[in-house]
A = this chain, B = another copy of it.
Amino acid sequence: MPTQRPSPQRIHVIGVTGLPEVTPGGRLGDLFVTAAGAQGDPIADGDVLVVAQKVVSKSEDRFVDLTSITPSRRAIDFAGPSGKDPRLVQLVFDQSRSVVREDRGRGILITETQHGFVCANAGIDGSNVAGDDTVLLLPEDPDRSARDLVADILALTGLKRLGVVIADTFGRPWREGHTDVAIGVAGLRPILDYRGTNDASGKVLRVTEIAVVDELAGAGELVMGKATGVPLAIVRGVSPELLTRPGNARALIRAKETDLFR
């Protein structure tokens, strides 16, 4: 049986350097267009931008000063065995709909955030933030953040189609290590659905819905790293169909009723 020979697909993942420190009110669209251009990699039609959650949260002033938090008895009790900061524990509770798993001894709190994401500490970030008592929350509505960023960059550049993935670093059950996943999406399809299509041997595929935006977030992380001050990756060459029928990251949240792990 002859194998199909589509032309090879090539995807380029480009780290964008030279961005200034992002501060509250900072216009990410401007900063990204300028930095990408200065680097000789101007943002192009059909690109997907992978953006670190941290700079989005900073631009939206999602800082919280822990000295403003009064921990409840429950937070103090949880924090005791591990020595975790009870004010941070309180803030995690405040930012969560529910606690999915907890381990007091190790100070681990896996919660469902107000958005519906399940992650450690409600996604609150205590690293890379200036000042020991300052922490950074997730964006209030990361899909809206992504949508605004797409609109800003299209307006600035005159481009027609652009995808944005806001990426954060989450752990997962059963496997060691974290990976970057999408918490905000605009301009592209979050899940590619192969169900009902034919595979290479002509059989109908029974599965598979692929969370392409999570794979894009991870690909971006490979050039962004954690310690390098690179909060933006341009992913160039993705299948054009990903930029049709755009959706958002909420589509990635599995409903409780169909989730065997809540």
Residues of A within 8 A of B (CB): 1, 3-21, 39, 41, 101, 103, 108, 110, 117-118, 126-130, 169, 172-181, 190-191, 194, 197-201, 203-212, 214-216, 218-219, 221-223, 225-230, 238-239, 251-254, 259-262
Contacts and interface: CB of A to CB of B under 8 A. Distances in A.
Contacts of A178: 207-211
A8 B41 CA distance: 10
Contacts of A238: 222
A194 B227 contact: yes
Contact of A127 (B19, B174, B175, B199): B199
B211 A176 contact: yes
A242 to B, nearest CB: 9
A69 to B, nearest CB: 19
Which of A8, A17, A253, A260 has the most C-beta atoms of chain B within 10 angstroms of its own C-beta?
A8
Contacts of A180: 215
Most buried by B among A181, A211, A251, A262: A211
A229 B200 contact: yes
A10 B17 contact: no
A175 B261 contact: no
Given A128-B199, A169-B210, A173-B254, 6 more contacts: A5-B17, A10-B13, A173-B259, A179-B214, A194-B226, A215-B218
Contacts of A204: 127
